[in-house]
Each structure stands twice: as C-alpha cells, then as structure tokens.
Amino acid sequence: MFIENVKSLTFQVGAAIAQYVFVTFNSSGQIVAAAAGADAVGVTLEAVTAAEFTAGKRAVPVAMIQAGGKCPVRVVASTAVAVGDIISSAAAGEAAPTAAARARLGVAVEVAGSDADQELVVIIFDKGARVT
C-alpha cells in the first residue's frame, strides 16, 4: 500500500527510538515510545539508534495523528493483526489489536501474519475507532 499525504513534524527525542512506533511526549516535552495501552500523538518516521543519540542526534520526524483526520501510516506490529482490527499501542510503541481500556489509535488495513513480531502493518489513524 502506498503511503502519502502524511503530515509530519520534527521533535526532540528523549532516548534512542525505533522507526515506525507509536510515540508520546515525556514530562520534558520530548518524544518517547508509547507504553502499552497508552495514547499516542503519532508514529516515528525515522529511528535514532543509541549510538546516534550519544553522538548528538536528537530529532526525529513524527507522522502526526490529527484530530478528525484519517491517514495511513506504517507501524511495527507486536503480534498478528487482521484487516479491520482496532489498533492500540503495545510495549515499546508497537501496534497490536486493542484490548479493553486501551487507547484506540486506528484501524488495520493490512494483515500482519502470526509470526508478525517486528513486521510492518499499515493502519489508518482514527482515534474514534470503535470495537464492534
């Protein structure tokens, strides 16, 4: 699936961070990987390795989740994902089908297989997504 028209902003990172993971802000206003079930502001479009962070790389572009807007974005899956699954953040900001009491971040439009750990899946950002 071709991803286009993703609006991104560049933010300072609080530590090394992977590409294509859900992120949120820490108390210092820096981007960090979202915790399991947490709300997110977007998805990283680039990684910052530990070596890069130590060497001074501190900024990363983030595809933003816009209020009322729905746009496709790639996210690393932590487990199997089916088309139509409502997606939330799993550990380390990875995508997983949602469970009760988790922030709903979008809807999967691609499949991530049963061995999906670290496989990319495309979702449509949609914080209003509902489990049916």
Model confidence, pTM: 0.87
From the list 127, 130, 70, the residue with the least C-alpha distance to 100 is 130
- Tracing tokens 């070596």 back to the chain, one arrives at 51
Q: What is the predicted pLDDT for the residue at 129?
A: 60
Sheet containing 120-125: give its strands across.
72-76, 120-125, 106-108, 86-89, 95-97
Q: Average the pLDDT over 93-116 and give the result.
A: 80
Q: What is the predicted pLDDT for the residue at 131?
A: 53
Q: Where are the beta strands (DSSP E) in the chain?
A: 8-12, 22-25, 31-33, 42-44, 59-64, 72-76, 86-89, 95-97, 106-108, 120-125
- In this predicted model, what pLDDT tens digit does every residue of 70-91 receive, in sequence order? 778 889 999 889 999 999 999 9
Max alpha carbon distance in the chain (Å)?
Answer: 47
- Residue 68's φ and ψ, nearest 5 degrees, are 75, -10
Please give the Cα distance from 116 to 80 (Å, whole number): 5
Q: Average the pLDDT over 103-120 and give the result.
A: 78
Question: Based on C-alpha coordinates, what's the Rg of the chain?
Answer: 14
- In this predicted model, what pLDDT tens digit does every residue of 11-62 receive, in sequence order? 999 999 999 999 999 999 999 999 999 999 999 999 999 999 999 988 999 9
